[in-house]
């Protein structure tokens, strides 16, 4: 079989394995839950205008409580750190700190915000930390634990700590895949012993932890698999090095319970059709990749830790949830400014609010608060930026849609606000609920 035949066979197999459709009953229940708060959202829009971010602090607090409760029995010595990169609005971070979470930061900018939020515990991860970022961490070593990303960073951190005449607590990041782009992060497992040996010559660094991170975790399989690999590596680590390990950070990437909702173009088979089609028309269908509920995540990860790590190290477990905590803690409000056809409207907010062409592949319902209905009608709902990729959706829930109507895009808390950009138009302001305070940029 030549390469062309192999590609065709694999393409045919991909088309046969259709992504599951999103259950319409589940979708209507979801939309109804937001229509029940319709009066609140319309009042917020009346008072503050649009486009607008809405931060729901009650939901943020609830999600933090749910996550902690799920893990308490499975991993009782768990330290939770909110991953700031998932939504870097200060009000989100402050809410997490007030309910007892630490903060996980990946830059000096995020570290400065975490310090301003008075976080009691901060972990600082990420590759390529700059000298000024290391110096800032060292200056606040009573709050900050550095997750070292490389042998070179170990040397640079030693220099920073020595210059400050202090000792900083640190862990080392382990790469979860030695191939491709994931090589960017951390050191390979095979180098762990060599890293501990190198750290012995760094008197201003107290190396006492390990960290790894797998992403896009619809289920716990990737985390469990790496915990198993880590357990095998710890078994071969010298005992004096194992005794140093006070924490193992199992990362984040936990997917929210509703799963991943997709447009046709976001599915594997949809991408294939789009690649070979001379023209592409969006499908009215929506698709869903299921996710594991957080209680099962906790059980599976707890079992993996007890089986693979506890026999070798007596340590606390850290976790860095981000998306799971903030996903449904922020929404977007828009107003229709122009109706160019029965199936095409323009809104006052653009994709610069979310930083990328998300809704060409991801699906979230566009809810017309001004003309509510539980029927979804086909219509291109577009933003007002000067680009054809400025898309909010291919339909809306409502009885009709007209200029002046207020639209809600729910559950936009994760990896949208953090990616906002000053592209063509200004970034809108945010309003915090339940207080309704105006939060300027």
Cβ burial, residue 212 (10 Å; 0-12/13-18/19+): buried
**Residue 176: strand pairing partners:** none
Write down the residue that tokens 């937001």 correspond to.
34
**Do 137 and 250 have their domain in common?**
yes
**Do 200 and 300 have their domain in common?**
yes
Which pLDDT score is estimated for 440?
41
- The b/e string for 354-382 (b: 16+ C-beta within 10 A; e otherwise) is bbbebbeebbbbbbbbbeeeeebbebbbb
For 182, the 3-state DSSP assignment is helix
**Do 317 and 391 have their domain in common?**
no
Tokens of 270: 């949809």
**Do 112 and 173 have their domain in common?**
yes
* CATH at residue 117: 3.20.20.10
Asked if the structure places residue 133 within a domain, the reply is yes
Asked if the structure places residue 86 within a domain, the reply is yes
Q: What is the DSSP letter of 120?
A: S
For 346, the 3-state DSSP assignment is strand
Which pLDDT score is estimated for 277?
75
Asked if the structure places residue 205 within a domain, the reply is yes
Query: By C-alpha distance, which of 204, 227, 97 is closest to 148?
Result: 204
Tokens of 391: 């898309």
pLDDT digits (tens, 9 = 90+) for 125-160: 999 999 999 999 999 999 999 999 999 999 999 999
Tokens of 252: 């984040």
Which residues have a Cβ under 8 Å from the Cβ of 126 and sit 6 or more positions away? 105, 106, 107, 147, 149
Read off the pTM. 0.95
Do 112 and 91 form a contact (C-beta atoms < 8 A)?
no
- For 219, the domain range is 58-256+292-326
**Residue 257: strand pairing partners:** none
**Do 234 and 306 have their domain in common?**
yes
Asked if the structure places residue 364 within a domain, the reply is yes
Query: By C-alpha distance, which of 136, 292, 291, 127 is closest to 211?
Result: 127
Which pLDDT score is estimated for 53?
98
Do 19 and 289 form a contact (C-beta atoms < 8 A)?
yes
Which pLDDT score is estimated for 1?
61
C-alpha 255/C-alpha 223 separation (Å) is 13
Question: Which run of H or E residues covers position 394?
Answer: strand 391-397
Asked if the structure places residue 441 within a domain, the reply is no
**Do 395 and 412 have their domain in common?**
yes
Asked if the structure places residue 72 within a domain, the reply is yes
**Do 312 and 414 have their domain in common?**
no
* Positions of the chain with pLDDT lower than 70, given as ranges: 1, 5, 7-9, 11-12, 14-15, 278, 435-441
**Residue 83: strand pairing partners:** 104
Asked if the structure places residue 439 within a domain, the reply is no
**Do 230 and 347 have their domain in common?**
no
Asked if the structure places residue 10 within a domain, the reply is no
- If one counts the domains in the chain, the total is 3
Tokens of 36: 């029940």
Question: Which run of H or E residues covers position 262?
Answer: strand 260-262
**Do 98 and 175 have their domain in common?**
yes
**Residue 249: strand pairing partners:** 211, 318
C-alpha 106/C-alpha 371 separation (Å) is 43
Do 350 and 334 form a contact (C-beta atoms < 8 A)?
no
Query: By C-alpha distance, which of 99, 94, 95 is closest to 117?
Result: 94
How far does CA 416 lie from the centroid of its chain?
9
Query: By C-alpha distance, which of 291, 260, 242 is closest to 364?
Result: 260
**Do 349 and 263 have their domain in common?**
no
**Do 276 and 403 have their domain in common?**
no
**Do 363 and 430 have their domain in common?**
yes
* CATH at residue 353: 2.40.37.10
C-alpha 327/C-alpha 114 separation (Å) is 20
Q: Which of 281, 310, 326 is the last residue of a domain?
A: 326
């Amino acid at each position: 079989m030549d390469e062309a035949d192999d590609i065709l066979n694999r393409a045919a197999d991909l088309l046969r394995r259709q992504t599951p459709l999103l259950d319409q009953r589940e979708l209507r229940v979801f939309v109804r839950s937001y229509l029940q708060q319709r009066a609140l959202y319309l009042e917020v829009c009346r008072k503050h205008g649009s486009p607008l971010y809405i931060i729901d602090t009650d939901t943020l607090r609830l999600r933090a409580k749910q996550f902690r409760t799920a893990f308490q029995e499975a991993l009782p010595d768990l330290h939770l750190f909110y991953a700031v990169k998932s939504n870097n609005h200060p009000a989100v971070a402050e809410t997490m700190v007030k309910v007892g979470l630490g903060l996980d930061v990946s830059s000096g900018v995020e570290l400065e915000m975490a310090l301003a939020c008075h976080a009691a515990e901060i972990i600082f991860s990420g590759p390529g930390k700059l000298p000024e970022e290391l110096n800032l961490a060292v200056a606040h070593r009573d709050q900050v634990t550095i997750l070292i990303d490389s042998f070179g960073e170990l040397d640079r951190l030693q220099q920073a700590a020595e210059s400050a005449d202090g000792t900083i607590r640190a862990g080392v990041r382990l790469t979860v895949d030695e191939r491709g782009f994931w090589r960017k992060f951390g050191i390979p497992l095979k180098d762990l012993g060599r890293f501990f040996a190198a750290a012995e010559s760094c008197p201003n660094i107290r190396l006492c932890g390990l960290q790894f991170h797998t992403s896009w975790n619809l289920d716990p399989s990737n985390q469990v698999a790496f915990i198993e690999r880590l357990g095998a590596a710890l078994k071969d680590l010298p005992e004096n090095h194992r005794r140093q390990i006070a924490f193992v950070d199992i990362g984040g990437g936990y997917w929210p319970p509703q799963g991943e909702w997709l447009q046709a173009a976001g599915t594997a088979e949809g991408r294939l059709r789009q690649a070979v089609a001379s023209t592409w028309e969006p499908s009215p269908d929506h698709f869903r990749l299921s996710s594991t509920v957080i209680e099962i995540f906790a059980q599976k990860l707890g079992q993996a830790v007890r089986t693979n790590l506890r026999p070798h190290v007596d340590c606390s477990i850290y976790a860095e949830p981000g998306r799971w905590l903030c996903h449904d803690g922020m929404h977007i409000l828009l107003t229709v400014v122009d109706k160019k056809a029965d199936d095409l409207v323009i809104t006052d907010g653009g994709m610069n609010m979310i930083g990328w062409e998300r809704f060409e592949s991801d699906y979230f319902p566009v809810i017309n608060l001004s003309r509510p209905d539980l029927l979804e009608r086909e219509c291109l709902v577009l933003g007002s930026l000067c680009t054809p990729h400025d898309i909010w959706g291919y339909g809306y829930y409502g009885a009709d849609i007209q200029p002046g109507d207020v639209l809600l895009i729910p559950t936009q808390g994760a990896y949208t606000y953090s990616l906002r950009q000053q592209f063509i138009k200004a970034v809108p302001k945010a309003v915090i609920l339940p207080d309704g305070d105006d939060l300027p940029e």
